[in-house]
Structures are given as structure tokens and as C-alpha cells.
Amino acid sequence: MTNHSRRDAIKKVATMALASTAFTSLSNRVAAHEQAVDEKLKGKINHSVCAWCYNGIPLEDLCKAAGQIGIQSIDLLGPKDFDTAKKYGLTCAMVALNHKDWGITRGWNRKEHHEPLIKVYEQLIDETAKAGFTNLICFSGNRGGMDDQQGIENCAAGLRKLMSYAEKKKVTIVMELLNSKVDHADYQCDHTAWGVELCKAIGSERFKLLYDIYHMQIMEGDVIRTLQASQQYIAHYHTGGVPGRHEIDETQELYYPAIMKAVYETGFKGFVAQEFVPKREDKLASLKQGVLICDV
């Protein structure tokens, strides 16, 4: 064998050895991932998922997949879908406001909205309580030139009228914190401090906040310290990768294991719902990954 042939043979053997090592490493990672998926969740975090992020998947299929992953709830369902969730042993940890006249842009921060909103919410409270669920979402509405203090006063005046009914039915009205910088221009409840002041003004254990981690990272950052300081006013959490509201893995800027550890250490007993819009083709694999990331 010539020196040239010997060098070629050595290179070939070395290349095959590297390929074998790489394949073994990859196989081990895949096996470890599959093992992690098959393991039971730790039980420290109550997991939910927002139905709207999976509009392309029939609700029945989403419920089946959620149960297999270990998710206990489907978020943001209306009364017509309650029975589907229950069929698969799931709760709805946050009931939606699906109404043509009321929502994110038109909410409680205007006095002229209070009377019709109270009628809508009393009916929804009845439906929520009848189903055995406990949280019902609400929104401040857009500023439209209104200053923040006036917004707090108006929201509090309307929501206080609803609290005795919510307390009687054991349903918590939960206002969502949303960003007004990227997704919901002019929305008033766009900072945790504003939401906390509203909770104090209402003064009922049946009014709390939905702390959306995605939205509050965009508006104010300082996520862990803020949720620790505000924990008594938070009833529910939503996730989402920043920027873009996609997968919550290493493709975005937040480190969710540390955030979830902080949530758990506050003594939080509610639900954390995945509310990212998957970019990958296998949407349910992304959902499973998100749950595992948050399962501290």
C-alpha cells in the first residue's frame, strides 16, 4: 500500500468513527427526550393550553393530545365547548369572553359599558359556576385618551357592582395584562402596577390578574421580581416566546425554567397555560416541549 493510499484509509476510518460517535450521541439525545416525554409530570405546576393557538386542530383532538401530555385544562373556551373538555377529563382554567360587542378594546374602563357588561358577565358567571369552573376573563378596554387613574376608577366602579354576584357563585373575574406596544395598541391594563392598583381598589378576593409573561416581558421586563411582588393578585399565567409569541425554547429570550421555579416558590396553586403560536409543522410536539420546559 502506498503512503497516499494509507493516508486515505486512515481518513476513512477516522471519518467513520466520528460519524458513529455522532450518531450514538444523537440517538442518546433522542432516547433521552422520548424517555422524558414518557415520564409523568412532576405535579408542581398545573398545566393548561390556550385553544386558540391550535385553531387548525379540532378541539376533540387537542383535548386527547392534552391528556396524553399531562395537561389538565384547556384555556379560553366558551360554554358551548365545556362538555368537550369535560369528556376528556379536562377543566377550563380560564373561561373566555366570546362576545361580538365586548372584548379587549371595549371593556370596563368606560362607565357607559357597565350596565350591559354586568348583564353579560352575570350570565357567563352562571355558566362558569354551573360547569364547576372558577376563572372568567375580562379586559380593561382601550384608553382612547383616558388617563390611567381615571381608567382604574371607572373599572373599579363597574366591577365592584359585579363582585357580590361573583363571590356568591365562587367565580373569580380575572383581568388580563396585555402589551400595548406590539399587539394591542392603546390597551389600558398594560402594566402590572396598574392591574395591582385596580385589584386594591376593588378589594375582593374574586378579582385578580392574568399575568401574561409574553406581554409583560414586552412592556416592562423584570418578570421574576414583578411576579414575586405581585403574587397575591395573580390568579393565572400565560406563556409565549419573546419576540414573536412562538415556542418558549432556546429560540427566544426568556428562560422559562427559572420563571416557573419562581412562580412555584410563591406558593401559586393556579394554572400556567401555554399561549404561544407554534411555528413548527408538528404543533403538538411544540406544545409537549413547552409543557416539559415549564415542568420544573
Q: What is the pLDDT of residue 39?
A: 62
- Adjacent-strand bridge partners of 272: 47, 237
Q: What is the pLDDT of residue 40?
A: 86
**186-211: string of b/e by CB count within 10 Å (b at 16+)?**
ebbbbbbebbbbbbeebebebbbbbb
Question: What's the whole-model pTM score?
Answer: 0.87
Delimit the domains of the chain by residue range: 1-39, 42-294
* 186 φ/ψ sector (left φ>0, alpha ψ -120 to 50, else beta): left
Q: What is the pLDDT of residue 8?
A: 53
Q: What is the pLDDT of residue 277?
A: 98
Q: Which three cell numbers stand for residue 198?
A: 385596580
* Residue 89, Cβ density class (10 Å: 0-12 exposed, 13-18 middle, ≥19 buried): exposed
- The helix (run of H) or strand (run of E) holding residue 175 is strand 172-176
Cβ-proximal residues to 133 (8 Å cutoff; 6+ apart), any chain: 82, 91, 92, 93, 95, 171
Closest CA to 180 of 150, 152, 148, 158: 148
From first to last of its 296 residues, what are the pLDDT tens digits of the chain?
A: 544 455 555 444 444 444 444 333 333 333 333 444 446 899 999 999 999 999 999 999 999 999 999 999 999 999 999 999 999 999 999 999 999 999 999 999 999 999 999 999 999 999 999 999 999 999 999 999 999 999 999 999 999 999 999 999 999 999 999 999 999 999 999 999 999 999 999 999 999 999 999 999 999 999 999 999 999 999 999 999 999 999 999 999 999 999 999 999 999 999 999 999 999 999 999 999 999 999 99
**Domain spanning 42-294, CATH class:** alpha beta
> For the CA atoms of 79, 80, 81, 83, what is the dihedral angle to 10 degrees?
90
